């Protein structure tokens, strides 16, 4: 079978997703209009990327297909607030109570290749503003690998290898694929150490998919 | 109470904002975007078009949305970006910078900076519910409305961020370049909550009420 790499569910808005034009992203990420999901054979893909802007009523209706995709040993990356329970084992988004900008401070809970060379302050701050990265968390089940957390210990990025036969990377904020490389308007935002995230994440997603494929072979 | 429905696109942000009780109470119902093209909207006094909709699905429903205007009722567009090509009358111009040339969403981090928004007519009843400062976070761009439309909040060079158009169609068209549903629903930008707190009651209690008098005379 012709194996494709990573499918990215596109929300189909007029927002320009500049990061999809990056060479490293284009090499392995294929955008798919979200409303084509029900008619798409997911078994052709090694991994799937979904954001919180995707129609989660649609994802809820497609939850069995998503579950089958994961149980077939695939990788799913979700960045966003989970508002419908379509992601196996993951709890609905819980906002953090914000009293000051310090409540948004991101802490690296455990070193991981996805965030290698990335400074915590470049996760917390963007263009001088805190809060872009995460404003709450999608509660994980026991046994996940927590990579990043908020000051109250809320896990905001984690890897779940316990809920399904595949691997989920769950982030409670904006699209990790575009983090640090999104230049949708002239002049900003500046390049910081966060620029490493998308490439390192894609490397990890493909390596994880390979690990799962090897384990099942 | 006048009957207002809102489009709902299933995104996390719209799920939160449109289910928030203090906003949901102003809405007769939510119309799920993939069902909009076939939805019965004939009973509505107004339709609130929420931001960042799937373009093809929304374009497929253009006839339904324009039909609301054709029978003299009201459509409110919250855009957060360029309008659909079939929006009657307006010309869009994207803008990214604050008055001092900073990236627009960060204007408040720079002392003395601002967006330069002002009331076109300080006596407009909209401003009693939504003062200009509650419409000031970032506006993505501006619209140059058609001749005869009524600007409500404008930039220094006179372009509209919010305007009312009762000339392009038999109905009432309110268009804003702002995206309060998206930001409130994303737990970001406190001004958006203050905007919505005043905006939705104004729409239902004043805008639809006034337009509804005309509607009952003309069409009912």
Q: pLDDT class for A16, splitting at 50, 70, 90?
A: low
The minimal CB distance from A83 to the residues B12, B33, B57 is found for B12
A157/A131: higher pLDDT? A157
- The tokens describing A187, both together, are 């002049």
Which DSSP helix (H) or strand (E) runs through B197?
helix B190-202
CA A190/CA A137 separation, integer angstroms? 26
Neighbours of A97 (CB within 10 A): 8
pLDDT at position A183 over 80:
no
A132/A137: higher pLDDT? A137
Which DSSP helix (H) or strand (E) runs through A206?
helix A197-216
pLDDT of res. A131: 84
pLDDT at position B6 over 50:
yes
Mean pLDDT of A85-111: 94
CB half-sphere exposure, B165, CA atoms < 13 A: 23
Residues 106-135 of A with CB under 8 A from B: 127-129, 131, 135
- The tokens describing B109, both together, are 């981090």
| CATH number for the domain whose boundaries are B4-219 | 3.40.50
CA B117/CA A147 separation, integer angstroms? 42
CA A52/CA A131 separation, integer angstroms? 16
| Triad B102, B103, B108: Cα angle to 5° | 70
Rg (CA), chain B: 16
Pairing, β A75-79 against β A45-51 = parallel
Residues 105-144 of B with CB under 8 A from A: 105-106, 109
Closest CA to B95 of B140, B145, B31: B140
Closest CA to A137 of A156, A124, A157: A156
* Cis preceding linkage at A189, omega within 30: yes
Q: What is the pTM of this model?
A: 0.94
Residues in A touching B16 (Cβ below 8 Å): 81, 83
Q: pLDDT class for B220, splitting at 50, 70, 90?
A: very low
B187 in reach of chain A (CB within 8 A): yes
| Cβ–Cβ below 8 Å for B188 and A131 | yes
| Cβ–Cβ below 8 Å for A82 and B12 | yes
Distance of CA B199 to the CA centre of its chain: 9
State residue B161 phi and psi, 5-degree precision: -100, -30
Render pLDDT for A46-97 as a digit per residue (tens, 0 to 9).
999 999 999 999 999 999 999 999 999 999 999 999 999 999 999 999 999 8
pLDDT of res. B218: 47
User: Nearest CA to CA, how far is A76 from chain B (Å)?
Assistant: 18
The minimal CB distance from A80 to the residues B10, B12, B57 is found for B12
Quote the DSSP letter at residue A110: S
In chain A, count of helices (H) and strands (E)?
A: 5, 12
Closest CA to A168 of A177, A158, A176, A178: A158
| CB of A67 closer than 8 Å to CB of A94 | no
ipTM above 0.90, yes or no: yes
A34 in reach of chain B (CB within 8 A): yes
pLDDT of res. B217: 45
Least confident segment among A13-27, A134-148, A151-165, B150-164? A13-27
B100 in reach of chain A (CB within 8 A): no
pLDDT of res. A185: 55
- The b-or-e profile of A40-65 (16+ CB within 10 A means b, else e) is eebeebbbbbbbbbbbbbbbeebeee
pLDDT of res. A1: 40
Q: List domains and CATH numbers for chain A.
A: 4-216 (3.40.50.880)
Render pLDDT for B137-188 as a digit per residue (tens, 0 to 9).
999 999 999 999 999 999 999 999 999 999 999 999 999 999 999 999 999 8
To which residue do tokens 């604050």 refer?
B98
A11 in reach of chain B (CB within 8 A): yes
In chain B, count of helices (H) and strands (E)?
A: 9, 10
Closest CA to A114 of A160, A148, A163: A148
The minimal CB distance from B54 to the residues A11, A186, A187 is found for A11
User: Nearest CA to CA, how far is A53 from chain B (Å)?
Assistant: 5
CB half-sphere exposure, A197, CA atoms < 13 A: 25
Q: pLDDT class for B214, splitting at 50, 70, 90?
A: low
pLDDT at position A127 over 90:
no
- Percentage of chain B with pLDDT > 90? 86
pLDDT of res. A3: 55
CA A127/CA B106 separation, integer angstroms? 7
**Which chain A residue shows the shortest CA-CA distance from B17?**
A83
| CB of A93 closer than 8 Å to CB of B12 | yes
């Amino acid at each position: 079978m012709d194996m494709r790499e990573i499918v990215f569910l596109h929300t189909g808005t007029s927002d320009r997703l500049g990061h999809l034009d990056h060479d490293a992203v284009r090499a392995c990420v294929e955008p798919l209009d979200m409303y084509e999901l029900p008619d798409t054979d997911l078994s052709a893909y090694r991994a799937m990327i979904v954001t919180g802007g995707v129609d989660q009523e649609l994802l809820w209706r497609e939850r069995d297909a998503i579950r089958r995709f994961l149980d077939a040993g695939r990788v799913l990356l979700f960045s966003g607030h989970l508002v419908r329970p379509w992601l196996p084992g993951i709890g609905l988004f819980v906002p953090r109570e914000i009293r000051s900008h310090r409540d948004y401070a991101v802490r690296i809970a455990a070193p991981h290749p996805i965030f290698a060379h990335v400074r915590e302050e470049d996760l917390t701050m963007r263009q001088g503003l805190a809060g872009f990265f995460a404003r709450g968390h999608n509660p994980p089940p026991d046994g996940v690998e927590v990579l990043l957390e908020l000051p109250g210990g809320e896990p905001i990025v984690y890897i779940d290898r316990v809920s399904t036969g595949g691997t989920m990377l769950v982030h409670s904020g904006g699209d990790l694929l575009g983090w640090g490389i999104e230049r949708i308007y002239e002049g900003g935002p500046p390049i910081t150490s966060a620029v490493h995230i998308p490439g390192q994440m894609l490397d990890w997603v493909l390596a994880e998919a390979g690990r799962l494929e090897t384990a099942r072979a | 109470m006048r009957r207002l429905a809102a489009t709902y696109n299933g995104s996390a942000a719209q799920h939160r904002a449109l289910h928030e009780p203090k906003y949901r109470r102003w809405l007769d119902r939510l119309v799920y975007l993939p069902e909009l093209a076939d939805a019965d909207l004939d009973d509505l006094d107004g339709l609130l078009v929420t931001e960042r909709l799937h373009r093809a699905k929304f374009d497929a429903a253009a006839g339904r949305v324009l039909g609301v205007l054709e029978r003299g009722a009201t459509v409110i567009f919250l855009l957060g970006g360029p309008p659909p090509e079939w929006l009657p009358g307006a010309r869009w111009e994207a803008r990214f910078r604050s008055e001092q040339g900073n990236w627009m969403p960060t204007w408040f981090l720079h002392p003395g900076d601002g967006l330069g928004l002002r009331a076109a007519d300080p006596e407009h009843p909209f401003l009693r519910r939504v003062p200009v400062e509650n419409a000031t976070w970032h506006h993505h761009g501006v619209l140059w409305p058609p001749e005869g439309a009524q600007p409500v909040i404008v930039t220094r060079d006179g372009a509209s961020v919010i305007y009312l158009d009762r000339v392009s169609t038999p109905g009432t068209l309110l268009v804003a370049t702002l995206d309060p549903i998206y930001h409130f629903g994303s737990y970001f930008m406190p001004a958006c909550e203050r905007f919505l707190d005043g905006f939705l009651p104004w729409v239902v209690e004043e805008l639809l009420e006034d337009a509804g008098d005309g509607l009952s005379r003309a069409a009912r």
